């Protein structure tokens, strides 16, 4: 480096302290992942086990509207109910343990001007939640997990629908008709055991962007009390950035916006994509809170059987002067109540 005259640019050594050690990071708060809004967790104490699924018939069986098969006349033997049992099935869950690791050398940790170890455990926590979201989305968008009648092509399986949701108009009402059809189907197949207030609609952020531009939703918002706020960009709720209300035709909307990177580190180009596909939407039941009660009846469409959740561990390797950190999770995810959910396809 040649000798120079002193100036305001060269009389000091650049350092991170000049910005008070500011760190620009895009790590997400793991509590804000949308997957927590549409899934339920059941804590389990064994890696493998069973959950019990009952068929849904006997509780609503009425062969005669006048109840003559239940009638008990004086002096006559009481009805015995020889055919009054309901069928059940034990279904397995099998938890897998996942470790999302990172390795840092002592020199890197000691000389970094910020808490690099804590930052990377946050990054690994987000990576774990992204993977958990992918597991959930794969489960709810796999048609084979549902009863065949609960997988609905919105362009062909719903009477009077004329096309995709993204193309719907006020006259067509394809979105409204689809949601009403799905709700009625869930009421039929669960004998109304599922409370309609527990149903929600899960869509991708890409589909959300398309819906807000379709005439049906534009006119729906125009006619609502939120029309002025929508024009101002002040629509209340968690979906404001998409221009959507929190509820559509009385149903809560959950926008699954999680992104994933699908290219290896060091690739010439980085590929990012949405975890939730744009051409699917899922109507799901999620009663109660995030944590369910083991052994209690559950109407949650999708369930995580959680043996271990988000354990953060660090261990210093003295011999090699490095620190190993990891986030550990141990779970299985199942579509435990397929009759309480609907998979809509060809939505965009």
Whether 248 maps to a domain, the answer reads yes
The span from the CA of 333 to the CA of 330, in Å, is 10
Mean predicted lDDT score pLDDT of the chain: 88
DSSP label at residue 116 = H
Residue 262: beta bridge partners? none
CATH of the domain at 269: 3.90.1690.10
Confidence of residue 61 (pLDDT cuts 50, 70, 90): confident
What is the per-residue pLDDT for 163? 95
Q: Which domain holds residue 336?
A: 25-54+86-345
Report pLDDT for 321.
Answer: 96
Alpha-carbon distance 195 to 27, whole Å?
36
The pLDDT score that the predictor gives to residue 327 is: 94
What is the arithmetic mean of pLDDT over 302-323? 94
Q: Is 102 within the bounds of a domain? A: yes
Beta strands 40-43 and 303-317, pairing class: parallel
Q: What is the pLDDT of residues 257-277, one digit of tens each?
A: 999 999 998 899 999 999 999
Q: What is the residue whose two structure tokens read 């109840």? A: 67
Strand partners, 274: 259
Q: What is the structure's pLDDT at 345? A: 98
pLDDT band at 255 (very low <50, low <70, confident <90, very high): very high
Query: Is residue 6 in a domain?
Result: no
* Residue pair 152/161 in contact by the 8 Å Cβ criterion: no
Give tens-digit pLDDT for 233-251: 565 566 666 778 888 999 9
| Average pLDDT score over residue span 332-338 | 95
At 156-191, the pLDDT tens digits run 999 999 999 999 999 999 999 999 999 999 999 999
Over residues 78-111, the pLDDT tens digits come to 988 888 888 889 999 999 999 999 999 999 999 9
Structure tokens at 252: 């809560």
Confidence of residue 317 (pLDDT cuts 50, 70, 90): very high
Angstrom distance (rounded) from CA 327 to CA 303:
21
Residue 220 lies in a domain: yes
Instruction: Write the DSSP assignment of 223-260 as a string of letters.
Output: TSTTHHHHHHT---STTGGGT--SEETTEEEEEE--EE
Query: How many Cα neighbours within 13 Å face the side chain of 207?
Result: 27
Which residues have a Cβ under 8 Å from the Cβ of 206 and sit 6 or more positions away? 274, 278, 348
Rounded to an integer, the average pLDDT of 283-304 is 76
**Contacting residues for 5 by C-beta, under 8 A, at least 6 apart:** none
- The pLDDT assigned to 220 comes to 87
Number of domains in the chain: 1
pLDDT at 223: 76
Over the range 286-303, which residues count as b (16 or more CB within 10 Å of their CB) and which as e? bbeeeebeeeeebbbbbb
Domain membership flag for residue 232:
yes
Give me the pLDDT at residue 31, please: 74
* Tokens 């916006």 belong to residue: 257
Q: pTM here?
A: 0.86
Name the residue among 132, 158, 107 with its Cα closest to residue 283: 158
212: in domain = yes
Report the alpha-carbon distance of residue 266 to residue 345 in Å, rounded.
36
Summarised one tens digit per residue, pLDDT across range 117-155 is 999 999 999 999 999 999 999 999 999 999 999 999 999
User: Residue 290: pLDDT above 80?
Assistant: no
pLDDT at 319 over 60: yes
**Site of tokens 């990377």:** 120
Min mean pLDDT across 197-211, 229-243, 272-286 is at 229-243
Look at residue 198 and give its three-state secondary structure. helix
280 three-class SS: strand
Q: Which residue has the tokens 């609907």?
A: 342
- Please determine, for residue 299, whether its predicted confidence score (pLDDT) is greater than 90: no
**Residue percentage of the chain with pLDDT more than 90:** 66
What is d(CA 215, CA 323) in angstroms, rounded to the nearest whole number? 56
Q: What gap in Å lies between CA 243 and CA 263, rounded to an integer?
A: 31
Q: Which residue has the higher pLDDT, 310 or 230?
A: 310
Report percent pLDDT > 70 for the chain: 85
């Amino acid at each position: 480096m040649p000798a120079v005259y002193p100036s305001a640019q060269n009389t000091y050594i650049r350092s991170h302290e000049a910005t008070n050690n500011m760190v620009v990071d895009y790590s997400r708060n793991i509590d804000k992942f949308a997957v927590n809004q549409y899934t339920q967790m059941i804590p389990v104490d064994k890696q493998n086990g069973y959950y019990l699924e009952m068929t849904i018939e006997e509780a609503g069986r009425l062969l005669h509207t006048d109840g003559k098969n239940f009638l008990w006349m004086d002096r006559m033997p009481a009805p015995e109910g020889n055919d009054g049992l309901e069928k059940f099935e034990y279904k397995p869950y099998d938890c897998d343990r996942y470790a999302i690791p990172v390795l840092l050398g002592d020199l890197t940790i000691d000389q970094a001007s910020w808490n690099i170890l804590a930052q990377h455990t946050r990054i690994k926590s987000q990576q774990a939640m992204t993977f958990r979201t992918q597991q959930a989305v794969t489960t709810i968008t796999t048609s084979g997990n549902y009863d065949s009648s609960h997988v609905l092509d919105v362009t062909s399986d719903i009477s009077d629908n004329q096309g995709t949701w993204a193309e719907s108009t006020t006259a067509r009402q394809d979105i409204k008709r689809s949601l009403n059809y799905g709700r009625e189907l869930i009421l039929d197949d669960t004998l109304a055991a599922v409370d309609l207030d527990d149903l929600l609609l899960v869509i991708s952020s890409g589909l959300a962007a398309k819906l807000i531009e379709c005439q049906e939703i534009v006119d729906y918002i125009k006619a609502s009390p939120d029309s002025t706020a929508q024009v101002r960009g002040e629509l209340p709720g968690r979906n404001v950035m998409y221009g959507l209300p929190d509820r559509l035709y009385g149903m809560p909307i959950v926008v699954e916006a999680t992104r994933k990177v699908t290219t290896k580190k060091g690739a010439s180009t980085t590929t990012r994509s949405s975890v939730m596909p744009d051409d699917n939407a899922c109507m799901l039941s999620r009663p109660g809170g995030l944590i369910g009660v083991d052994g209690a009846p559950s109407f949650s469409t999708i369930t995580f059987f959680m043996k271990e959740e988000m354990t953060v561990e660090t261990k210093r390797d003295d011999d090699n002067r490095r620190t190993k950190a990891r986030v550990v999770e141990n779970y299985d995810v199942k579509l435990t109540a397929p009759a309480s959910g609907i998979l809509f396809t060809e939505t965009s």
